[in-house]
Structure 1
Amino acid sequence: MAYVKIGQSNSPIFYELSTPAEPEGTVIFINAWCSSARYWKETVKRISSRFQTLTYDQPGIGRSLSKEKPLPATYKGTIDNGSNEVLELIEHLQLLDKPVHVVGHSLGVVIATHLATVLESRGKLASLTIINCGSFEIEDRKGEILIPFIKLVVNVKRILELPGLRQLTIRKLTARPIESIYEQFIISDMVASDIRIARELALSSLTPVNLERYHHEVDALKAPLLLVVGDRDGTIPPKGMYNIKRFKPTANLVPFPDCGHFLMLERPNRFAEVLLQHLSLNVISFR
């Protein structure tokens, strides 16, 4: 684990880089909204013997939140800033000697897809994995259903630590039991996150312009695409993941019928198996 100063945030970014003796490739993980990278631990543990992994916390969130060095008022939580930051981190760590795999979850997928688009334009993208962040036809306005939930969480997030509300929140995010330590991480990350950055990043992800760009970027990507969907996701409707498969028939869609939004914690072994299979299938072409 380490910190590095990158981007416009003027605040140290926390990251963890795990490197096996003979890595078959590099995997970059992009977190869900208001979440630190701690919830990827189960996945990293299961794939890091074969693949180099990079996880990080976005500015103002998780271990990148600093009371001593708060984010400047000029810094904005936007999709472009988020994508530029992780690209700068990847370049700083000199991870682009070969194409990399990008894995995005929830609203972090919008950042991940823009990053993947930039990497592909440079010939540096091995594959993209999208987890529980479907694309809808713009006229459906599905993204708007998340806005009330986001505003509620941001405005009253302190009370999420109350036992009853904590469990209600976890039940909205999961359909199966997860380890209590990860329940604590999810809630504490939401509660501690920088209010302004949390609001800006979420609402930036859901603007019609960025939702349309997300749709077009997914459609335009040539790299192998893995779609992983929790069919009982109560946060972002699973229908949107199946919509991607409809307009992107070459994508590999893997459903988790009994899982919700945090399926990598609900079925950690199964998720790691699916991801490893996808990564392994897409190593040969990029050696």
Structure 2
Amino acid sequence: MAMLDTARGRIYFQDTCREDEGRLHGTVLFFNGWALSSRYWSGIVRRLRPRYRVITFDQSGTGRSVLSTPPPPFTVPGFADEADALLAHLGPFDRGGIHVVGHSMGGMVAVEFCDRHPGLIQSLAIVNCGIFDDFLLEAFQYVVVGSMITLFVPLRGIFRFEPFTSLLVDRVIAKPLPDRWKKVIAEDFISTDPAAASAVGKFAIDPDCVTSYSRKAVTLDIPLLCVVGMADRTIPPEGMLALHQRRNSSPTPYPTTLCRMEAVGHLPMLESEEMFFNALLMHFAASSAGYGSGT
């Protein structure tokens, strides 16, 4: 178990770096969604590691990481600071750049991180973390998400048992998952620090945070892959479609690709692992073809 001491606490991370790193095609860094540890990336990590160095970590307040005393503020810049600390600890990253993947709330943090390191980031993939206008922020689905956060966090212990485990997991998926993944998702939610769960869940739908995220996501000068589960009932898929459209209408010369995953919900890396992996692999390869050339 690898732990990194930071100003925000002890951050748990995994790094697949090996002695044959010179033959790998760069590094992939993952940012997790709300109330999730990095465990749910394990299938994708297993597929990527023959080709890439892969780094995953548990953001403060989640998984195996240990909060500082007093706890740090749970903000987008704060979580990006944790990735910065990992970057300083595990670098340098001078072979092939870094491919960044951010899921859900982690997409907001990933964009902040990429904005801080423009010369180092080779590509970005955003998964089910769209951009929204005011009318969408007031949409029914967002009201539901806010209500779920307020209701579920204080009662999170009940999700250790059926039928509550399935109630929690089925809300975010469109395709059935094996029981082991249901257990992981429920365990992660239950073990997440309640203050972190509440703060993160709310800033992810805060209009000011969303506006800042939207502006940066549209204007980042790096290749972007937008992955959207079209049956996502947690975050409206229209937001990812809007991000793809606005990127293609923006002045950035870097390509923006859309991967529509039909009949897939909020967890495409679990619901359709092979399709998700192939989309990442194609995106990384296309981005790496122009690495260091400015194209």
Q: Shorter-chain TM-score: which interval?
A: over 0.9
- Could you tell me which of 15, 19, 22 is aligned with 2:13? 15
Which residue of structure 1 lines up, in the alignment, with residue 266 of structure 2?
Answer: 261
Q: CA deviation at 1:284?
A: 2.2
Matches within 5 A, 1:66-215: 70-98=67-95, 99-120=97-118, 123-142=119-138, 143-215=142-214
User: For the residues of structure 1 that align with 2:284 and 2:65, how far apart are their CA atoms?
Assistant: 28
Give yes or no for the alignment of 1:232 onto 2:237. no
CA-based RMSD: 1.5
CA distance in 1, matches of 2:71, 2:3: 22
Rounded to whole Å, the distance in 1 between the matches of 2:109 and 2:71 is: 20
CA distance in 1, matches of 2:280, 2:109: 19
Name the TM-score, length of structure 1 as normaliser.
Answer: 0.93
Could you tell me whether the CA contact under 8 Å between 2:226 and 2:257 is conserved in 1?
yes
Residues 74 and 171 (structure 1), Cα distance of their counterparts in 2 relative to 1, 3 Å cut: closer
Task: Give the length in aligned residue pairs.
Answer: 279
The answer to whether the aligner puts 1:54 opposite 2:55 as a matched pair is yes
Note if contact 1:259-1:267 (Cα within 8 Å) is conserved in structure 2: yes
Question: Residues 138 and 211 of structure 1 are in contact (CA less than 8 Å); yes or no, is this contact kept in structure 2?
Answer: no
For the 8 Å contact 1:144–1:206, the answer to whether it is kept is no
d(CA) in 2 for partners of 1:190, 1:211: 23
Matched AA of 1:150? I
Q: Which runs of 5+ in 2 are unaligned?
A: 249-254
**Secondary structure class of the residue paired with 1:233:** coil
Percent identity between matched residues is 29
Tell me if structure 2 keeps the 8 A contact 1:60–1:71. Answer: no
Measure, in 2, the Cα distance between the counterparts of 1:95 and 1:198: 32
Segment drifting more, 259-268 vs 205-214: 205-214
Distance 2:61 2:42 in 1: 20
TM-score, normalised by the number of residues in structure 2? 0.90
Counterpart Cα distance in 2 of 1:13 and 1:74:
13
Other structure's SS at 1:282 match: helix
Q: Which amino acid aligns with 1:181?
A: R
Q: Give the conservation status (yes or no) of the 8 Å contact 2:219–2:247.
A: no
In 2, Cα distance between the equivalents of 1:42 and 1:74? Answer: 31
- Distance, in Å, in 2 between the alignment partners of 1:124 and 1:285 is 13
Change (3 A) 1:171 1:283: same
Aligned-pair CA distance for 1:96: 3.1
Structure 1 residue identity aligned to 2:213 = Y
Tell me, yes or no, if the aligned pair for 1:78 and 1:205 is still in contact at 8 Å.
no
Moved over 3 A (4+): 142-145
Q: Which runs of 5+ in 1 are unaligned?
A: none
* Amino acid across the alignment from 1:118: R
